[in-house]
Amino acid sequence: MPLLTQHTQDENDQYCLVASLDNVRNFSTILKAIHFQEHATCFTTKNGIKVTVENAKCVQANAFIQAEVFQEFLVREESVIFRINLTVLLDCLSIFGSNPMPGTLTALRMCYQGYGHPLMLFLEEGGVVTICKINTQEPQETLDFDFCTTNVISKIILQSEGLREAFSELDMTSEVLQITISPDKPYFRLSTFGNAGSSHLDYPKDCDLMEAFHCNQTQVNRYKISLLKPSTKALVLSCKVSIRTDTRGFLSLQYMIRNEDGRVCFVDYYCSPDEDIPEPES
């Protein structure tokens, strides 16, 4: 039994949040998928932890780590909210190195006493324990994208493999990424309009990559490429991605990430469309 999980009930009582896991990478990997801003807000309920990062009031990323991912997960209040420097948190979580030697696992015990207290991290590897205290910050209100399933116009589920290359090759000289989803050809098209010219990437609707394709109405939306590019981090880790757009053109990207234990975690991206209404495709 790892050193860190041997704690008495009394010790636990002073904390409003206690979470332990044998393999810290199951937690840090998911956080890396949303690490495109310095600060993150953590919401904790008995179901698990949701970590939220936002940028430019236009894009929001949420990482969900369910309680089941942890070996021990105690929440004494209905919800525990704090804001934290995500860069520092990730640095602490990888304090024993981000690529551990095979066979060695870093165990984590994470405790939080409540408002005004630091987040305590106890990390243990091979009998060596590191204790980190990270100051927490005043939680800030996060955006509500109001993305309702009922307003969804189109939904695509793709094997991430099919999108990975497309995102890594995005022409970053293009200001926008245009997403066309249509019941007829070209079905699902990603377009960029860069300095060198335009590029279109078309996916047929019935191929092995495409697990689901639902669309009744052609929709063409543009999103700032600089806002979408950070989602590549989650895409690279994921095995499947769900792409949805709603009546307002808001985009939801849901990434399914399988951690080292084989458990599934989800990372969500929401992005608002670019204001300019695109002209019809020629």
Partner 1 sequence: MKCVVMGSNVKVLGKAVHSLSRIGDELYLEPLDDGLSLRTVNSSRSAYACFLFAPLFFQQYQAATPGQDLLRCKILMKSFLSIFRSLVMLEKTVEKCCISLNDRSSCLVVQLHCKYGVRKTHNLSFQDCECLQAVFNPASCPHVLRAPARILGEAVLPFPPALAEVTLGIGRGRRVILRSYQEEEAGAQVPPVPGPTDSTVKAMMTEMSIGEEDFQQLQAPEGIAITFCLKEFRGLLSFAESANLPVSIHFDAPGRPAIFTLEDSLLDGHFVLATLLELDPHSQDLGSSQLHRPVPQLQGHSTPHQDDFANDDIDSYMIAMETTVSSEGLRVLPSVTLTPGPQRHCGPGPHSEEEDNDEAEPGPVPGTPPPKKFRSMFFGSILDPIHSPQGPSPVLAEDSDGEG
Q: Is residue 232 part of the contact set for partner 1 (CB under 8 A)? A: no
204 is an interface residue for partner 1 by CB under 8 A? yes
Number of amino acids touching partner 1 (CB under 8 A): 18
The set of long-range contacts for 33-37, using a CB threshold of 8 Å and a minimum separation of 24, is 33/61, 33/63, 33/233, 33/234, 33/237, 33/238, 33/255, 33/257, 33/267, 34/61, 34/62, 34/63, 34/86, 34/233, 34/234, 34/267, 35/86, 35/87, 35/90, 35/233, 36/61, 36/230, 36/233, 37/86
Does residue 91 touch partner 1 according to CB under 8 A?
no
Counting contacts by CB under 8 A, is residue 282 touching partner 1?
no
- Closer residue to partner 1 (CB): 200 or 263: 200
Identity of the residue, 41 or 191, whose beta carbon is nearer to partner 1 in the bound complex: 191
Joined together, the tokens standing for residue 253 give 């990207």
> Candidates 18-26, 57-65, 196-204, 268-276 — which segment interacts with partner 1 by CB under 8 A?
196-204
- Choosing from 90, 95, 120, 201, the residue that interacts with partner 1 (CB under 8 A) is 201
Is the C-alpha dihedral spanning 82, 87, 90, 94 positive or negative? negative
Under the binding rule (CB under 8 A), the answer on residue 184 touching partner 1 is no
Name which of 111 and 177 has its Cβ closer to partner 1: 177
Q: How far is the CB of 202 from partner 1 (least distance, A)?
A: 5
- Interface residue with partner 1 among 171, 175, 229, 256 (CB under 8 A) is 171
Contacts (Cβ under 8 Å, ≥6 apart) of 26:
65, 69, 259, 260, 261, 263
Closer Cβ to partner 1, 97 or 197, answer by number: 197
Among 183, 197, 212, 261, binds partner 1 (CB under 8 A): 197
Nearer to partner 1, 20 or 192 (CB): 192
- Residue closer to partner 1, measured from CB, 169 or 261: 169
**Which range touches partner 1 (CB under 8 A), out of 10-18, 125-133, 198-206, 236-244?**
198-206
Interface residues toward partner 1, by CB under 8 A: 162, 165, 169, 171, 194-204, 207-209
